[in-house]
Chain A
Amino acid sequence: MSYIISFCLCAIYYWPMENDLLFQFEDVHLKVDDLNILQGLNFNISKGEFVAVIGASGAGKSSLLRMFNALTSPSSGKITFRGGEIDSDIQALRKNVGVLFQNPVVFEGTVRENLLIAGRWDQSISQTLDHEILTALDQVGLVGIKLTHHARDLSGGEQQRLALARTLLNHPQVLLLDEPTSNLDPKLAREIMDQIEELRGALNLTVIAVSHDHMLMRRYAKRVIILSHGKIIGDGDFKTLDKSHAFEDAGLLKNEVTDAT
């Protein structure tokens, strides 16, 4: 009887934690052509977090981000998503884990055709009603754009928002951002990040953002993972890591830190 009680207690204690755990990286390595891109990464990401992955160029940030939606697989090590192997159902994973690339891809065609491109293989998307599309556009701050407008005529910022709206129509739980604002001016970059932060709260999203701009990221992310030469040299909140040398060791300028917030 006591075994059963202790088992139940353990189950009650661990259940919410297991439930909140989204990604688990265990000794993840990535080797491409004899180059060690990522070396022995160990970390977890829980539901609802806003995690910034910071590092100088060539640190392995983008390669790491691609692992969250299995666009790249590790050479060794293990990644789990919601407790299961990350690549057990890749199409379902990719619907759940949306990505916004640095240079958004806008397809030839109208705004509507771009938003519903996943309707080519997903019936739930092809049947999306106009008011749902307009809601998605509204969520990303694209108001007053005609659905029949030619998508490639939109400005850089508008194209980025269109790509975000397209991802949101998949109803993802996780949003990956790959330097999403690096091609935009600072004011626009901040507007888009504000929008994403608002969405995170409204849609209960988990956001993982890769950036070399820790100034911008510290406004939004509660947690930062600092990558240097494929290794994690810092993982925690910005304030704690500011006290260490992690930012400098990663080749990021310390004096920028004082200007932040």
Chain B
Amino acid sequence: MRPDFYVLSWNDLLVSLLFIACSLFLIKKWKLGLENTLLIGTVRTFVQLTLMGYVLTWFFGQEHWAFMLALLFIMIVIASYEGTRRQKHAIPHFFPAMLVALLGSAILILGTILLFILDVEPWFSPYAAIPIGGMIIGNGLNSTALTANRFVGEMKHREREIETLLALGATPKLAVHDAMKASIHAALIPNINAMMTVGLVQLPGVMTGQILAGIDPIIAVRYQIMIMYMWFTTATLANMIMLAIVYRQYFTSKLQLRRELLREKA
């Protein structure tokens, strides 16, 4: 028999703290020195998600496009800030680059999903826009933050290659092509691998959540397929927009590599 709903009470949630207690015990026993970080992480997960639950409940009651767009924009600003914070290298104008990359990919992909795939009525219904938008922004953030780090590492590693190409008459874009290719590859391969093994090795979170919430697995699978395609496209699009802005920061208008930026410590 299929249950309609598994309701999780606050008490049930308290029991799940046992997982953390187990981890904490093992971490202490192995003297890994992660206790404080784990405690902070545990509290932050609880506080952030609980607050988000209340915010979403309030938001879902608003049913106004301006509210939905404002929330998505705030999420993008926070993600851009977080992406900037994660950089090992001081990349000039990285915050606006992230902002444009996430905004661009969110508008294109979320817009397509809301208007043409799910045919959401009204299009700004927060029940679809906020969770899907959140996935797009979160995935875009993770992917671009990694790619940017890798890209600057590649530029440092290939500094002489880049200058040789410039000296042969290449434009900056062509001179950094191999560095871009290597960093985008590194970012997209985990996404492709996930597409290869999804369903065989693990059931993805969204699908698991939907099945737990009582949705027919066939429908849940369809959502998951759409999400996998969406993830890959978000990563591709956000990375390309971000790199198109970032690589330019490393060259002068006279097609010269700003070598001082590659030597600067974060």
| A residues in contact (CB < 8 Å) with B | 32-33, 69-73, 87, 90-92, 94-95, 98-99, 101, 103, 105, 107, 117-118, 120-122, 163, 166-167, 170
9 tightest Cβ-Cβ pairs between the two chains A and B: A105-B164, A95-B169, A94-B169, A118-B168, A99-B167, A90-B255, A91-B169, A105-B160, A121-B174
Interface residues on B, range: 10 to 19
Q: Which residues of chain A are within 8 angstroms of B168 by Cβ–Cβ distance?
A: 94-95, 98, 117-118, 166-167, 170
B254 at the interface (CB under 8 A from A): yes
Q: Which residues of chain A are within 8 angstroms of B171 by Cβ–Cβ distance?
A: 91, 121
Known: A105-B161, A107-B161, A120-B174. A73 touches B252 (CB 8 A): yes
**Interface centre among B171, B177, B252, B254, by most A CB within 10 Å?**
B254
Known: A91-B171, A107-B161. A71 touches B166 (CB 8 A): yes
Q: Which residues of chain A are within 8 angstroms of B252 by Cβ–Cβ distance?
A: 73
Complex: A92 Cα to B171 Cα, angstroms:
11
Complex: A99 Cα to B166 Cα, angstroms:
11
What 16 new A-B contacts, CB under 8 Å, besides A94-B169, A118-B168, A121-B171? A70-B255, A71-B166, A71-B256, A72-B256, A73-B252, A73-B254, A73-B256, A94-B168, A98-B167, A101-B167, A105-B161, A107-B161, A117-B165, A118-B169, A121-B170, A170-B168
Q: A96 to chain B: closest CB distance in Å?
A: 9
B163 at the interface (CB under 8 A from A): yes
Q: Which residues 144-201 of B sit at the A interface, judged by CB distance below 8 A? A: 160-161, 163-171, 174, 177
Which of A70, A120, A166 touches B256 (beta carbons < 8 Å)? Answer: A70
- Judging by beta carbons under 8 Å apart, are A120 and B170 in contact? yes
Q: B265 to chain A: closest CB distance in Å?
A: 14
Which of B169, B177, B254 touches A170 (beta carbons < 8 Å)? Answer: B169
Q: A136 to chain B: closest CB distance in Å?
A: 14
Complex: A99 Cα to B169 Cα, angstroms:
11
Q: Which residues of chain B are within 8 angstroms of A33 by Cβ–Cβ distance?
A: 260
Q: Which residues of chain B are within 8 angstroms of A90 by Cβ–Cβ distance?
A: 254-255
Known: A103-B160, A105-B160. A69 touches B254 (CB 8 A): no
Q: Which residues of chain A are within 8 angstroms of B165 by Cβ–Cβ distance?
A: 117
Q: A95 to chain B: closest CB distance in Å?
A: 5
Q: Which residues of chain B are within 8 angstroms of A98 by Cβ–Cβ distance?
A: 167-168
Closest to A96 in B: B169
Complex: A20 Cα to B222 Cα, angstroms:
73
Q: A67 to chain B: closest CB distance in Å?
A: 11
Q: A150 to chain B: closest CB distance in Å?
A: 17
Q: List 8 A-B contacts (CB under 8 A).
A: A70-B256, A72-B256, A91-B169, A91-B171, A94-B169, A95-B168, A103-B160, A105-B164
Complex: A101 Cα to B161 Cα, angstroms:
11
Complex: A198 Cα to B168 Cα, angstroms:
22
Complex: A163 Cα to B164 Cα, angstroms:
10
Q: B171 to chain A: closest CB distance in Å?
A: 7
Complex: A95 Cα to B171 Cα, angstroms:
12
Known: A91-B171, A118-B168, A120-B174. A70 touches B254 (CB 8 A): yes
**Interface centre among B167, B177, B260, by most A CB within 10 Å?**
B167
Closest to B174 in A: A121
Q: B159 to chain A: closest CB distance in Å?
A: 10
Q: Which residues of chain B are within 8 angstroms of A122 by Cβ–Cβ distance?
A: 169
Complex: A101 Cα to B168 Cα, angstroms:
12
Q: Which residues of chain A are within 8 angstroms of B255 by Cβ–Cβ distance?
A: 70, 90-91
Complex: A107 Cα to B73 Cα, angstroms:
43
Complex: A71 Cα to B159 Cα, angstroms:
13
